[in-house]
Amino acid sequence: MTRFEGKNVFVTGAGQGIGYGVCRAFALEGAFVALNDYDAHLAESAAGQLNQELGAQRVTAFPGDVSDANVVAALINTCADQRGGLDIVLANAGITRYMPFLEATPEVFDRIINVNLRGTYFTVQAAAKRMIAAGKPGRILLTSSIVGQVAFPNFSIYSLTKAAIQMLAKSLALELGSYGITVNAITPGATLTERVIREDPDYERNWAEVTVTGRVGYVEDVVAAALFLASPEARQINGHNLVVDGGWSLRSPLPDDHPTLPDQQDYA
Ligand code: NAD
């Protein structure tokens, strides 16, 4: 399929994991992709690897730290200048840090807020300005997380950034809709990436056990959501939050012995 033939796509935090998967999928469907990552070496090698797989130069590395609003604006503007515009942007860069609330420090707080929130906010601002100036419709996607809507222990800083991103999608959908730009959030649940396997070698099995579908999320599940929201079919979807968690967040805790419930099943 070549649904995105000739489209110009910019993805942040894409040297590995979900962002890399999204870049790959857009490029396979004919898009030109700007692949951003904080780690310049990773960005260059990821872009090179994708171009080799494609047998074409459709992915370009745009290394830089999205927490610096000037850096991210320069990257977006360079990309839009080189490609003659920008059609689709995924503000995906995000960092995670487990830290009990009582041990949190201002330094850690600022770094997570700056990458996840400031980075997302000013990536979208720079992109929206270029889309509006070009007078063409655009698609903006933001990566949230399921812990932005259900609480998870020792994740307070990360979770509040991801909750804020869901509200940001709604606010920006309202402000940018009249320019033909839609803004939607994607909310992954536990998703198997190189990073999470480093953190927990049994991640796949552990999350399969507690997920309603009986399996962990894979990068391709989040990729499918991103491509759908960027596709022509999704043109009237604006300010939505698409949860991709296999139903993990749906369950209410039940008492072990509940007389009004017939034959309680063990839902995953
Ligand atoms: P990852 O850590 O595998 O990849 C993220 C990439 O972002 C890394 O290559 C990193 O170098 C880059 N990055 C970090 N800080 C950056 C910065 N300041 N500027 C530019 N790039 C930067 O992460 P992932 O698991 O693929 O997650 C991607 C997004 O999805 C994140 O926003 C994350 O919060 C979110 N998410 C992931 C999961 C999951 O289970 N994997 C679940 C929910 C949400």
Q: What is the pLDDT of residues 76-121, one digit of tens each?
A: 999 999 999 999 999 999 999 999 999 999 999 999 999 999 999 9
Q: How many CB atoms lie within 10 A of CB 229?
A: 23
Query: Stretch 195-201: mean pLDDT, rounded?
Result: 95
Backbone angle region of 37, left / alpha / beta, with phi > 0 → left and psi within -120 to 50 → alpha: beta
Predicted confidence band of residue 258 (pLDDT cuts 50, 70, 90): confident
Cα-to-centroid distance, 259 and ligand 1 (Å): 44
The separation between the first and the last C-alpha atoms of the chain, rounded to the nearest angstrom, is 35
Q: Is the pLDDT of residue 44 over 80?
A: yes
- Quick one: which atom of ligand 1 is closest to the CA of 42? 9
Cα-to-centroid distance, 242 and ligand 1 (Å): 18
Q: Is the pLDDT of residue 266 over 70?
A: no
**Dihedral angle of Cα 200, 205, 207, 210, to the nearest 10 degrees:** -140
38 within 8 A of 116, measured Cβ to Cβ:
no
pTM of the model: 0.96
Predicted confidence band of residue 2 (pLDDT cuts 50, 70, 90): confident
Q: Is 196 in the pocket of ligand 1 (CB under 6 A)?
A: yes
For residue 263, the model assigns a pLDDT of 65
90 within 8 A of 10, measured Cβ to Cβ:
yes
Q: Is the pLDDT of residue 259 over 80?
A: no
Cα separation, 96 vs 112, in Å, equals: 7
Q: Is the pLDDT of residue 152 over 80?
A: yes
Among candidate residues 158, 179, 203, 218, the one labeled active-site is 158
What average pLDDT is seen over the chain?
Answer: 95
Token pair for 222: 């989040």
Cα separation, 119 vs 121, in Å, equals: 6
For residue 72, the model assigns a pLDDT of 98
C-alpha 90: how far from its chain's center? 6
- Quick one: which atom of ligand 1 is closest to the CA of 162? 34
Cα-to-centroid distance, 236 and ligand 1 (Å): 28
Q: Is the pLDDT of residue 254 over 90?
A: no
DSSP, res 178: G
- Quick one: which atom of ligand 1 is closest to the CA of 39? 11
Q: Is the pLDDT of residue 1 over 80?
A: no
Residue with the smallest CA separation from ligand 1 atom 5 is: 13
Cα-to-centroid distance, 29 and ligand 1 (Å): 23
Look up 20 and say whether it is catalytic: no
DSSP, res 198: H
Strands (DSSP E) along the chain, which ranges?
Answer: 8-11, 32-35, 59-61, 88-91, 138-143, 181-188, 191-192, 217-218, 241-244
For residue 268, the model assigns a pLDDT of 57
C-alpha 188: how far from its chain's center? 8
Closest CA to 122 of 10, 43, 234, 4: 10
**Residue 142 phi/psi, 5° resolution?**
-120, 140
For residue 206, the model assigns a pLDDT of 97
Look up 158 and say whether it is catalytic: yes
Query: Stretch 21-28: mean pLDDT, rounded?
Result: 98
Q: How many CB atoms lie within 10 A of CB 133?
A: 11
Longest dimension (CA), the chain: 66
Q: Is the pLDDT of residue 264 over 70?
A: no
Q: Is 193 in the pocket of ligand 1 (CB under 6 A)?
A: yes
Cα-to-centroid distance, 14 and ligand 1 (Å): 8
Q: Is 245 in the pocket of ligand 1 (CB under 6 A)?
A: no
**Residue 241 phi/psi, 5° resolution?**
-120, 110
